[in-house]
Amino acid sequence: MPLLIAMLACLLPASAGAGWLWGDAGEQGARVEVVEPFIEWRSGPAVGYPVFHSSEKGETLTVLQRKTRWFKVRDRKGREGWVLVSDLASTRDLATGEPVALEVPDFATFRERRVEAGLMMGEFEGAAVTAAYGGYWMTRNLSAELWGSQVLGSASELRMVNTNLVHQPFPHWRVSPFFTLGVGYLWVDPKATLAQPEQRENTVGHAGIGLRAYITDRYFIRAEVKDYKVFTNRSTNEEATEWKIGLSIFF
């Protein structure tokens, strides 16, 4: 479980690093000047919140915080609200006098990604599985991944670490299929019984197929199915099927 928590840190938007003012800029945020006729303010960081104010050309705003496609701003009278990234991109940075340079992740950025990470949930042979991963794209079609998984069954708890090679034949598609092949290690920890069975450790191999679907900004949905071969010290090996779906972020 600590492995999953550590890998989840990759999903925090503040860790994205790239981009102007990604995360909390505090009270001493950047100051910008409106150069368009007006910019609309909303009471929250989504289009469902009402427009309650607008800043006209020539007004100065202080940028406080970013949440995905929205920036929180404050005017000279102390009023605070949220504006779209695209609106803020049409302002001028008072420190440099240049137009504000904002990184606005889009599908083109997604196609050129190098690093991704995600959290997924599903079933491993009927038992609940939670998994986290990180991956690095060596080319537009080939990626190497590291996975950590936890399976909670009625009779035992499984912990698994895997390495994958992922082939994506159509990287230019918004909804793109992919294929995986990998190996890993499985620890089986039986739950307490009168017989006190021993823990088991096994090598595993797996192959799978899945889909990625780009959503917006830095986020996409990933779903996949894997077939596992568990190599045991018994006379026969074991097989298992796993499916997972979850949310991923790319850098």
**How does pLDDT run across 190-241, given as a tens digit for each residue?**
876 545 556 678 899 999 999 999 998 789 999 999 999 999 877 788 899 9
**How does pLDDT run across 1-18, given as a tens digit for each residue?**
444 444 444 444 443 333
Amino acid at position 140, single letter: R
Task: Give the per-residue pLDDT at 236.
Answer: 80
Residue with tokens 């698994």: 160
Burial category of 170 from C-beta neighbours within 10 Å (exposed 0-12, middle 13-18, buried 19 and up): exposed
**Do 47 and 130 fall into the same domain?**
no
Task: Give the per-residue pLDDT at 78.
Answer: 92
Task: Give the per-residue pLDDT at 104.
Answer: 66
The DSSP symbol for 86 reads H
> Could you tell me the maximum CA-CA distance found in the chain, to the nearest angstrom?
79
**Do 142 and 245 fall into the same domain?**
yes
Q: What is the pTM of this model?
A: 0.68
Q: Does residue 93 contact residue 100 with C-beta atoms inside 8 Å?
A: yes
Average pLDDT, integer, range 88-109: 78
CATH of the domain at 228: 2.40.160.20
Q: Is residue 13 part of a domain?
A: no
145 pLDDT above the threshold of 60 = yes
Task: Give the per-residue pLDDT at 47.
Answer: 87
Q: How far apart are CA 140 and CA 118, in angstroms?
A: 18
Our count of domains for the chain comes to 2
Q: What proportion of the chain, given as a percentage, has pLDDT over 90? A: 57
Helix (H) or strand (E) segment spanning residue 7: helix 2-8
121 pLDDT above the threshold of 60 = yes
Boundary of a domain, candidates 83, 102, 121: 102
Domain range for residue 98? 19-102
